[in-house]
């Protein structure tokens, strides 16, 4: 089973391997600057796991847990 952004621990840095999902959902993720080969650092995860705060290309972003499941990382 592929490793997704949802399973990454706080403080870890990972590379985006693949974006799953289709249409507007995939476009929303890509509009945040999250594309294949980009490095993401997990800054904080809310107590119930939603949302997840990440740093991408020098920007701090908040990603919903459902969207994080669509981002495969290595």
Q: Where are the domains of the chain?
A: 5-73
Pick from 48, 60, 58: nearest CA to 6: 48
- With a pLDDT cut of 70, the percent of the chain lying above it is 100
What is the phi/psi pair of residue 29, to 5°?
-65, -45
Give the mean model confidence (pLDDT) for residues 7-33: 93
pLDDT of residue 49: 80
Q: What is the pTM of this model?
A: 0.88
5-73 has which fold? SH3 type barrels. (2.30.30)
Band (pLDDT 50/70/90 cuts) for residue 1 is: confident
Band (pLDDT 50/70/90 cuts) for residue 9 is: very high
Could you tell me if 45 and 55 are in contact, meaning their C-beta atoms sit under 8 angstroms apart? no
Pick from 2, 3, 15: nearest CA to 54: 15
């Amino acid at each position: 089973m592929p490793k997704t952004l949802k399973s990454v621990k706080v403080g870890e840095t990972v590379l985006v391997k693949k974006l799953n999902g289709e249409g507007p959902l995939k476009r929303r993720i890509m509009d945040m600057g999250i594309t294949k080969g980009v490095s993401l650092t997990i800054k904080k995860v809310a107590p119930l796991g939603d949302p997840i705060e990440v740093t991408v290309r020098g920007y701090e972003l908040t990603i919903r847990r459902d969207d994080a499941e669509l981002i495969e990382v290595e």
